[in-house]
């Protein structure tokens, strides 16, 4: 992979701080956008912008074609059976809320069980808390080993005939470790449960085949994979989506409206009320084409190289505590860590002063941090446009954090 050539596609990476280009290591929060994506959005807005599905004029037609045509690209991207199984949302969070509201709250009853992991993002945790509260279901957790981040095997026994939903992230946004979905999916299906897979941190970095995984739902966001903000995807098996109530009500999701009743539109329109985000759909299609052109094998190879360099360098710096496994082969593009006696926000501010962008806080995974006995952490997350030189620069300045805070190491 020619990193320098690729970086030329990302104008924002030329932005300077302190006389040198920024080092952007917050890709797990949101990725940057390449020129082909920016140009596709610009072309749509200057040549084809209209309100889809609502008119017979040329711009309405072009908007409809752009929006509907992008669904086939997304279908192929995750290997869904049909574009009917591709629902556009605002982001992964909205996708998971749609499942919780339109499936969880309508299909669960008192005494049913929901199983999630303690490592879940709040979008895949708070949602199920409310389902449990509204239906009388019980929310159970699969916990992880404090050092490795691996799921505790004994907790898999919680997936039994009483469980109706098993929801978990394919890649944790804190631990960075891939939770191998196949054993959990198989066990869940054997118990008769539906599987919800959060792909926010996996879809941008690896090939996803929802048919091979056999998950029932899969959710991901465009903005984490080089597309615009405000566009997300919910994949659902067609028979499940057909059996679910609409999440939002309004225009374009109806077949016929009478004074006292309504017939809803067929999939996927049934779940896409209101004016659709065509611009977002255009950006997502362009981003998928861009990532496919680079190739996910190359993307993973570059990220693995950067993560390996980062972990090996951090292991040589005193007072750095890596969260989860320290095996680079198990990390998916990110490393979370703490610095002894230094608040994570102070770490981020010190690094930001020299142009390094990382994330701090509990990363919308507060129960995991509580379970691990820490209140917050730092996270450096990488994408294919990052370089070894950037990682070296990050390590150089990470080493100075404690001295900046006045510690004499």
Identify any residues that bridge with 163 across adjacent strands, giving them in sequence order: 113
pLDDT of residue 179: 66
pLDDT of residue 180: 75
Give the span between the Cα atoms of 172 and 371, in whole angstroms: 15
Give the span between the Cα atoms of 299 and 225, in whole angstroms: 12
The tokens describing 55, both together, are 């008119």
**Sign of torsion, CA 360 361 363 368?**
positive
**What is the distance, to the nearest Å, from the Cα of residue 296 to the centroid of all Cα atoms in its chain?**
16
The tokens describing 369, both together, are 């941090």
φ and ψ of 127, to 5 deg: -55, -45
| Catalytic residue positions, numbered | 364
SS3 sequence, the chain?
CCHHHHHCCCHHHHCEECCEECEECECCCCCCCCHHHHHHHHHHHHHCCCCCCCCCCHHHHHHHHHHHHHHHHHHHHHCCCCHHHEEEECCHHHHHHHHHHHHHHHHCCCCCEEEEECCCCHHHCHHHHHHHHHHCCEEEEECECCCCCCECHHHHHHCCCCEEEEEEECECCCCCEECCHHHHHHHHHHCCCEEEEECCCCCCCCCCCHHHHCCCEEEEECHHHCCCCCCEEEEECHHHHHCCCCCCCCCCCEEEECCCCEEECCCCHHHCCCCCCHHHHHHHHHHHHHHHHHCHHHHHHHHHHHHHHHHHHHCCCCCEEECCCCCHHHECCEEEEEECCECHHHHHHHHHCCCEECEEECCCCHHHHHHHCCCCEEEEECCCCCCHHHHHHHHHHHCCHHHHCCCCC
Maximum alpha-carbon separation in the chain: 75
Cβ atoms < 10 Å from Cβ of 19: 6
Among residues 119, 120, 164, 117, which one has the least CA distance to residue 138? 164
Residue by residue, pLDDT tens for the chain (409 residues) are: 788 789 999 999 999 998 999 999 999 999 999 999 999 999 999 999 999 998 899 999 999 999 999 999 999 999 999 999 999 999 999 999 999 999 999 999 999 999 999 999 999 999 999 999 999 999 999 999 999 998 888 999 999 999 999 999 999 999 999 767 988 999 999 999 999 999 999 999 999 999 999 999 999 999 999 999 999 999 999 999 999 999 999 999 999 999 999 999 999 999 999 999 999 999 999 999 999 999 999 999 999 999 999 999 999 999 999 999 999 999 999 999 999 999 999 999 999 999 999 999 999 999 999 999 999 999 999 999 999 999 999 999 999 999 999 999 7
φ and ψ of 270, to 5 deg: -50, -30
Domains, in order of start, for the chain: 3-32+295-404 (3.90.1150.10), 38-292 (3.40.640.10)
pLDDT of residue 5: 87
Residue whose tokens read 């944790």: 172
pLDDT of residue 164: 98
Among residues 367, 363, 261, which one has the least CA distance to residue 28? 363
Burial class (CB in 10 A: 0-12, 13-18, 19+), 397: middle
pLDDT of residue 4: 79
Identify any residues that bridge with 351 across adjacent strands, giving them in sequence order: none
Give the span between the Cα atoms of 47 and 18, in whole angstroms: 39
Give the span between the Cα atoms of 273 and 151, in whole angstroms: 38
Burial class (CB in 10 A: 0-12, 13-18, 19+), 110: exposed
């Amino acid at each position: 992979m020619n990193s320098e050539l690729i970086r030329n596609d990302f104008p924002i990476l030329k932005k300077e701080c302190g006389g040198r280009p920024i080092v952007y290591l917050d890709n797990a929060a949101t990725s940057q956008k390449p020129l082909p994506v920016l140009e596709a959005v610009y072309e749509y807005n200057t040549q084809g912008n209209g309100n889809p599905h609502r008119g017979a004029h040329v711009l309405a037609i072009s908007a409809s074609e752009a929006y509907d045509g992008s669904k086939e690209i997304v279908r192929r991207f995750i290997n869904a059976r049909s574009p009917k199984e591709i629902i556009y949302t605002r982001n992964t969070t909205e996708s998971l809320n749609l499942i919780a509201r339109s499936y969880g709250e309508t299909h669960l009853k008192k005494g049913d069980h929901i199983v999630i992991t303690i490592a879940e993002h709040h979008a895949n945790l708070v949602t199920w808390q409310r389902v449990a509260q509204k239906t009388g279901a019980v929310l159970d957790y699969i916990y992880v080993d404090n050092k490795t981040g691996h799921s505790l095997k004994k907790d898999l026994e919680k997936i039994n005939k009483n469980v109706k939903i098993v929801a978990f992230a394919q890649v944790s946004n804190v631990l960075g470790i891939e939770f191998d979905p196949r054993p959990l999916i198989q066990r869940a299906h054997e118990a008769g449960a539906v599987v919800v897979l959060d792909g926010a941190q996996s879809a941008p970095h690896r090939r996803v085949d929802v048919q091979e995984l056999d998950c029932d739902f899969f959710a991901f966001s465009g903005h984490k994979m080089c597309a615009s903000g405000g566009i997300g995807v919910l994949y659902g098996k067609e028979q499940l989506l057909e059996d679910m109530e609409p999440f939002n009500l309004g225009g374009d999701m109806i077949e016929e409206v009478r004074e006292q009743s309504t017939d809803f539109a067929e999939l996927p329109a049934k779940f896409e009320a209101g004016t659709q985000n065509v611009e977002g759909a255009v950006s997502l299609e362009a981003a998928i084409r861009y990532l496919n052109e680079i190739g996910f094998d190359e993307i993973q190879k570059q990220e693995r190289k950067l993560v390996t360099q980062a972990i090996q360098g951090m292991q040589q710096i005193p007072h750095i505590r890596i969260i989860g496994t320290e095996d680079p082969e198990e990390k998916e593009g990110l490393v979370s860590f703490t610095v002894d006696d230094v608040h994570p926000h102070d770490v981020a501010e010190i690094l930001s002063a020299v142009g390094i962008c990382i994330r701090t806080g509990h990363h919308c995974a507060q129960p995991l941090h509580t379970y691990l006995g820490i209140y917050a952490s730092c996270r450096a997350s990488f994408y294919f446009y990052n370089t070894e030189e950037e990682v070296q620069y990050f390590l150089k300045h990470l080493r100075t954090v404690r001295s900046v805070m006045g510690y004499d190491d």
